Amino acid sequence: MIGYVTLGTNDLERAAKFYDALLDVLSAKRMMEESNFIAWATTQEAPSIAVTKPYDEQAATVGNGVMVALSADSPEQVNAIHAKAIELGATDEGAPGPRGEGGFYAGYFRDLDGNKLNAFCMV
């Protein structure tokens, strides 16, 4: 269903370092790279996440109401992803824990450019 998600950045080098370290927790590696674009995935067939400098050469801005959810295998992995994001300079948008009913477990954060992400799993 979803092939990839792209987030804007104003500092590709800084964003690349952040996502290299963060996505390593999920065993994702760089799968595609150009001068203004980098994408990571666990396999070529899996959905990927990318960062890019906007092609219109305007400043990247955060989408209001936009969030990327990173699928984790367990609450422990959710905790590890959230902790790694904070360690890398992300801001906390909601500590890991159960949300609502139905076994949804998630932790929320904003990357270095202010994009909102979460790590989640079903328990």
- CATH value at residue 78: 3.10.180.10
Residue 71: alpha-carbon gap to chain centroid: 10
Count the neighbouring beta carbons within 10 Å of the beta carbon of residue 19. 24
pLDDT band at 65 (very low <50, low <70, confident <90, very high): confident
The count of domains in the chain is: 1
The boundaries of the domain holding residue 57 are 4-122
**How much of the chain is helix, strand and coil, in % rounded to 5?**
20, 40, 40
The reported pLDDT for the residue numbered 111 is 97
pLDDT band at 91 (very low <50, low <70, confident <90, very high): very high
